[in-house]
C-alpha cells in the first residue's frame, strides 16, 4: 500500500514523464517541418518511450492500491534555432529528469517503502542509458556543425532508431 505522499510523488513524476513525451513530440514535428525526417523519427521514438515511462508509473500506482491521477500537462517549447540547440535541450532535460528520479528515490527511502524503492531502480538504470544516448546524439550533431552534407548523414543515421517496449511492460494488457 502506498502512503499518500508516495502516491502523490509518483503521480507528479508520471506527469513529468508525460511532459517529456510532449516535449519530444514537439521536437519531432519541429524537425519534420524543417526537413529533418530522421531527427523527427528519433524524437518520435523518444516520445513513445516517455509515454511508456508515464504508463509504467501509473500502472504501478494502480497495482499498489493507490490512485493514478491525470494532471495538467504544460505546453512545451515549439521551435528551436538549430538541430544542435534541440539536442542540447534533450541532454539538459534528461539530466534534470535524472535529478527528479533521484529525489523520488529519496522519498521512497524516507517513507521506508522498499517495494517502491525496488520499482524505481528501473528508472535509475534507464536514466543512465538516457543520459548516455542523449550525450552520444548531441556529440554526433555537434560534430556535423552546419555542414549540410554532414547534417544529412546524421539525420539518416538517427532515423534508423527503432522502438522497443521494456521487458514485462504491456501497452495493451
Ligand atoms: Fe523518462 Fe527520458 O526520462
What sign results for the dihedral spanned by CA atoms 51, 53, 55, 61? negative
Nearest atom (ligand 1) to Cα of 49: 1
Residue 87 lies in a domain: yes
Residue 146 lies in a domain: yes
- Domain residue limits at 135: 4-158
Helices assigned H by DSSP within the chain: 4-33, 37-63, 83-110, 114-144, 148-158
Residue 46 lies in a domain: yes
Residue 126 Cα to ligand 1 midpoint, Å, equals 8
pLDDT in tens, 133-150: 999 999 999 999 999 999
Residue 173 lies in a domain: no
CB 130 within 8 A of CB 97: yes
Residue 170 lies in a domain: no
- At 1, the pLDDT band (50, 70, 90 cuts) reads confident
- At 173, the pLDDT band (50, 70, 90 cuts) reads confident
CATH code: domain of residue 9: 1.20.1260.10
Closest C-alpha residue for ligand 1 atom 2: 94
The count of structural domains within the chain is 1
Residues with CB under 6 A from ligand 1: 17, 20, 50, 53, 94, 97, 130
Residue 93 lies in a domain: yes
pLDDT in tens, 29-71: 999 999 999 999 999 999 999 999 999 999 999 999 999 999 9
Residue 56 lies in a domain: yes
Cα–Cα distance, 16 to 1 (Å, whole number)? 23
Amino acid at each position: 500500500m502506498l502512503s499518500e505522499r508516495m502516491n502523490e510523488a509518483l503521480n507528479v513524476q508520471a506527469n513529468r514523464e508525460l511532459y517529456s513525451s510532449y516535449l519530444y513530440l514537439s521536437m519531432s514535428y519541429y524537425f519534420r517541418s524543417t526537413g529533418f525526417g530522421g531527427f523527427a523519427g528519433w524524437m518520435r521514438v523518444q516520445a513513445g518511450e516517455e509515454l511508456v515511462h508515464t504508463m509504467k508509473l501509473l500502472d504501478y500506482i494502480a497495482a499498489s492500491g493507490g490512485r493514478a491521477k491525470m494532471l495538467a500537462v504544460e505546453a512545451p517549447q515549439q521551435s528551436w534555432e538549430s538541430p544542435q540547440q534541440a539536442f542540447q535541450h534533450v541532454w539538459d532535460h534528461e539530466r534534470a529528469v535524472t535529478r527528479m528520479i533521484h529525489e523520488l528515490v529519496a522519498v521512497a527511502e524516507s517513507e521506508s517503502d522498499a517495494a517502491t524503492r525496488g520499482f524505481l531502480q528501473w528508472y535509475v538504470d534507464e536514466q543512465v542509458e538516457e543520459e548516455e544516448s542523449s550525450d552520444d546524439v548531441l556529440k554526433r550533431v555537434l560534430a556535423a556543425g552546419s555542414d549540410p552534407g554532414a547534417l544529412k548523414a546524421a539525420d539518416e543515421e538517427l532515423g534508423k532508431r527503432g522502438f522497443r517496449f521494456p521487458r514485462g511492460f504491456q501497452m495493451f494488457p
